[in-house]
Chain A
Amino acid sequence: MLHWVAPYQFSWLAVTVFPLAGILYGAGMRNLRRRGEKIGYWRPFAFYLGLALCYTVMHTRFDYYGQYLFFMHRAQHLVLHHVGAMLIALGNLPRFWGAALSPLPPGPGKLLNRAMLPVRFLQQPVSGSVVFVGLIYFWLTPGVHFDAMLSHNLYLLMNWSMLVDGVLFWMVLVDARPIELSHLPGYATRFVMIIATTIPQILLGAYITFSTRNLYSVYSVCGRAWPIAPERDQLYGGLLTWIPPAMMELVAALIVLSLLMARESALSPTEGKS
């Protein structure tokens, strides 16, 4: 049992960031309740489920398979950049983390505002979409991928950059605040972001799936977790880069659509009566 739960490679980053994120969210829940605000169950549930999933793929035995099988590595990134990140984003971080941190004294408040600059960059529609897809392409460039799989520091940078960027990107798409208050792009722009990020992912996934060349030789050089043929490994990895991420984008599109419809009906409450 311990064998499966214990991290393959211990990381201070994982044992610091995950509990901190969870505690901050819990503190936010407490503060909101004290103020008498309604919290509901599903947002905290989504947040903690996402957090647990990301921790599992990063800091348990799963990570061993992620390092020594290409398709398991793709499954790991599917969780970090898509499924887990989307669940964390659905947790509504601005509201819960905000409630935990506010009111901040003006000094640290200003500092936090400065620190938000890269966040705004990653949430701006054009740069956000470019980085979201760019990171996938960058870490899957064969030469870059080789190095990332050899160096522990690069490996951590790869995985954390995917998680952080994933959360920030999905936060834009699923944000349920009225767009006038959130300073985030409107629903039409969000649909464009979804289309703009889906197509390059499908192309890359299909390219890996149908490639007859062994693109990621590092798994042959370093040995695989079990003796699976390299072509199979790459085929499954390609499919995991192609289909589930496209489905996650579809889920995001449905969420944006429901937000749009909720807004429409809120704007015209008398519709049907007139």
Chain B
Amino acid sequence: MNIRETIALVFLLASIVVAGCARQGHWNAKNISGLMPDLKFNLTDETGKSVTAANYRGKTLMLFFGYTNCPDFCPTTLAKLAQVLDQIPNERKEVRVLFVSVDPKRDSPKNLAIYTNNFAPEVIGLTGSEPMLRELTKRYRTTFSYGKPNALGNYEVSHGLAVYVFDKTGKARLMILDKQTVPQIVTDLKRLIGESA
């Protein structure tokens, strides 16, 4: 291998690295454009109707996984997202929060409706059969599992902690992490709704 070949290879590798870095935007949340596939699912909504991602095209979507018996993460996240919605009174009709229950055994559509109404009208509960839920969680590279039931038959469900944000065309755009604050989410969301308006 001579010097010229070495330089060419080093240059090639360096340009790959630079191209990878240039894609980053300035969002508070994690930018997942190009990393994750477009939204696609086949689930049941809280009225018992079967729905796909196409039903929500045209809306900016915030999707996350949880279950109604969840003691901490799910209610705090939903409360946080409800606060975010309160701070964008003009844009909130453009937004839907999709709360996907990965505990279909306990979370019937009816239970989900009662639960999500505690937070905001834009919050929609979704669930489905376990294989359908596995397919969706695999698509967004997350998983869930069930703990051992206690004497009363209650069990914990472990699930991913990210909120996935999709734009109006169903493209995966942002991943909101636990550490993001309400003002940060508001800023990101306004920008995202604004850019595709």
Contacts and interface: CB of A to CB of B under 8 A. Distances in A.
A and B bound?
yes
A117 B161 contact: no
Interface string A218-252: 00111111110000000000000000000000000
A149 interface: yes
Contact of B9 (A64, A118, A151): A118
Counting chain B CB atoms within 10 Å of each CB, the highest count among A124, A127, A223 belongs to A223
Interface in A109-140: 117-118, 120-121, 124, 127
A154 B35 contact: yes
**Interface SS of chain A: helix, strand, loop or mixed?**
helix
A117 B5 contact: yes
B36 interface: yes
Interface stretch (B41-49, B55-63, B137-145, B189-197): B137-145
Interface string A185-225: 00000000000000000000000000000000100111111
Interface string B113-136: 000000000000000000000000
A227 B146 CA distance: 10
B70 interface: no
A68 interface: yes
A39 interface: no
**Interface SS of chain B: helix, strand, loop or mixed?**
loop
Nearest to A227: B158
Contacts of A147: 35
Nearest to A8: B138
Contacts, number: 62
Interface residues of A toward B: which range?
Answer: 20 to 34
B161 A223 contact: yes
A226 B1 contact: no
Interface in B151-172: 156, 158-162
A121 B158 contact: no
A221 B32 CA distance: 14
Contacts of B30: 146
Counting chain A CB atoms within 10 Å of each CB, the highest count among B35, B144, B175 belongs to B35
A223 B36 contact: no
A223 B159 CA distance: 5
B35 A221 contact: no
Interface string B170-191: 0000010110000000000000
A150 B9 contact: no
A68 B143 contact: yes
Contacts of A121: 1, 5-6, 9
B112 to A, nearest CB: 20
B128 to A, nearest CB: 18
B89 interface: no
B147 interface: yes
B143 A221 contact: no
B27 to A, nearest CB: 14
Given A150-B141, A221-B161, A120 B1 contact: yes
A146 B141 CA distance: 11
Nearest to A150: B35
A223 B143 contact: yes
A63 B159 CA distance: 18
30 contacts: A8-B138, A67-B141, A68-B143, A117-B5, A120-B1, A121-B1, A121-B9, A127-B6, A147-B35, A150-B36, A150-B175, A151-B35, A154-B35, A217-B177, A220-B161, A221-B160, A221-B161, A221-B162, A221-B177, A221-B178, A222-B142, A222-B160, A223-B144, A223-B158, A223-B161, A224-B158, A225-B143, A225-B145, A227-B145, A227-B147
Interface of A: 8-9, 64, 67-68, 117-118, 120-121, 124, 127, 146-147, 149-152, 154, 217, 220-227
Q: Which 6 A-B pairs have the closest CB atoms?
A: A151-B35, A223-B160, A222-B142, A150-B35, A222-B160, A120-B1
